Amino acid sequence: MVTRLVSVLLPVFNSRATLAQALESIRRQRGVELECVAVDDGSSDGSLACLEHAAASDARIRGSYNAAAGAYNRRVFRMRRVSFEAPAR
pTM given for the model: 0.70
Q: How far apart are CA 4 and CA 37, in angstroms?
A: 17
State pLDDT tens for residues 4-43: 888 999 999 999 999 999 999 999 998 889 999 998 888 9
Domain assignment present for 21: yes
Residues contacting residue 74 through CB under 8 Å, at least 6 positions apart: 11, 39, 41, 66
Res. 86 pLDDT band, cuts 50 70 90: very low
Domains: count for the chain: 1
Q: DSSP string spanning 24-85?
A: HHHHT--SEEEEEEEEE-S-SSSHHHHHHHHHHH-TTEEEEE-TT--HHHHHHHHHHH----
With 50 as the cut, is the pLDDT of residue 89 above it?
no
Let me know if residue 88 belongs to a domain: no
In a domain? residue 43: yes
The answer on pLDDT for 71 being more than 80 is no
User: Can you give the CATH number for the domain in which 67 is found?
Assistant: 3.90.550.10
**Could you tell me if residue 27 is left (phi over 0), alpha (psi between -120 and 50 degrees) or otherwise beta?**
alpha
The whole domain housing 51 covers: 4-81
Instruction: Assess if residue 86 is contained within a domain.
Output: no
